[in-house]
């Protein structure tokens, strides 16, 4: 019988393997897996979220988007089946709820994220909040090398609009987001 702890460790290990060749966009090119691990940390340590499905899905939140459907990768359908088989249907549903449709242009995907934010399951809203907190902190302290000021500001503003649609989900996480947002570049 899997315990909560073994499930979360297994999800982190699965994500570490899946993202092993990917790097973040920051100037140092830090390993991609640092980002999903940071989401798990924000949820478990900063927000005291104990729902194992949410913590597993946070570790896996970029798996379908970044590790499936591309050249030499499992198909999206194979990825979904893999998640369900290994982590269960509710983890698979949470990951799907935070996955963009990559066939759409980037601007449309960002617009849809804001539009859909209020309608996704509560666990997926927690993951979105943690994702935006992690990204704002990263952009404030170690932004992508080629992002001019306006682009960093635009990301903050878009994240702010998105989180406004999620308000009422988790007061402590929303306060953590507001703290991160205070570092908006001016």
Q: Which stretch binds Zn ion (CB under 5 A): 11-19, 57-65, 85-93, 99-107?
A: 57-65
65 tagged catalytic: yes
Smallest separation, CB 80 to Zn ion (Å): 18
User: What is the token pair recorded at 119?
Assistant: 């309608």
Q: Annotate each residue in 4-43 with x if it binds Zn ion (CB under 5 A) or - if it does not, as one string.
A: ----------------------------------------
Query: From the CB of 155, what's the least distance to Zn ion, in Å?
Result: 13
Q: Per the residue annotation, which of 66, 131, 138, 174 is the catalytic one?
A: 66
Q: Of 53 and 62, which has the nearer Cβ to Zn ion?
A: 62
Class of residue 161 by CB neighbours under 10 A (exposed 0-12, middle 13-18, buried 19+) = middle
Question: By beta-carbon distance, which residue lies closest to Zn ion?
Answer: 131
Burial of 114-128, coded b for 16+ CB within 10 Å and e otherwise, reads bebbeebbebbbbbb
Q: In whole angstroms, how close is the CB of 1 to Zn ion at the nearest point?
A: 30
The answer to whether 137 and 185 have CB atoms below 8 angstroms apart is no
**65, 131, 138, 174: which one is catalytic?**
65
- Within 98-137, which residues bind Zn ion (CB under 5 A)? 131
Residue 8 or 134 having the CB closest to Zn ion: 134
67-87 CB burial, b ≥16 within 10 A, e <16? bbbeeeebebeebbebbbeeb
Q: Is 66 considered catalytic here?
A: yes
3-state DSSP call for residue 31?
strand
| Beta carbon of residue 89, minimum distance to Zn ion (angstroms, whole number) | 22
State yes or no: residue 174 binds Zn ion (CB under 5 A): no
- Number of residues counted as binding Zn ion (CB under 5 A): 2
Nearest partner of 74 among 7, 12, 14, 127, judged by Cα: 14
Burial (CB count <10 Å: 0-12, 13-18, 19+), residue 167: middle
- Given a contact cutoff of 8 angstroms between Cβ atoms, the answer to whether 132 and 81 are in contact is no
Tokens of 97: 């709820």
Judged by the rule CB under 5 A, the positions of this chain that interact with Zn ion are 62, 131
Catalytic residues: 65-66
């Amino acid at each position: 019988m899997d315990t909560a702890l073994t499930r979360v460790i297994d999800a982190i290990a699965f994500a570490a393997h899946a993202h092993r060749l990917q790097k973040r966009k920051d100037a140092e090119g830090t390993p991609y897996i640092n980002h999903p691990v940071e989401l798990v940390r924000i949820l478990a340590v900063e927000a005291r979220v104990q729902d194992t499905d949410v913590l597993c899905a946070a570790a896996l939140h970029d798996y379908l988007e970044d590790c499936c459907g591309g050249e030499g990768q499992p198909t999206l359908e194979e990825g979904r089946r893999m998640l369900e088989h290994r982590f269960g249907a509710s983890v698979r549903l949470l990951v799907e709820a935070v996955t963009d449709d990559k066939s759409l242009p980037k601007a449309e995907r960002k617009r849809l994220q804001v539009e859909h934010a209020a309608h996704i399951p509560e666990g997926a809203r927690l993951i979105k909040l943690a994702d935006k907190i992690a990204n704002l902190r990263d952009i404030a302290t170690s932004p992508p090398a080629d992002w001019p000021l306006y682009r960093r500001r635009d990301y903050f503003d878009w994240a702010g609009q998105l989180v406004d649609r999620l308000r009422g989900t988790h007061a402590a996480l929303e306060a953590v987001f507001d703290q991160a947002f205070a570092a908006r570049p001016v």
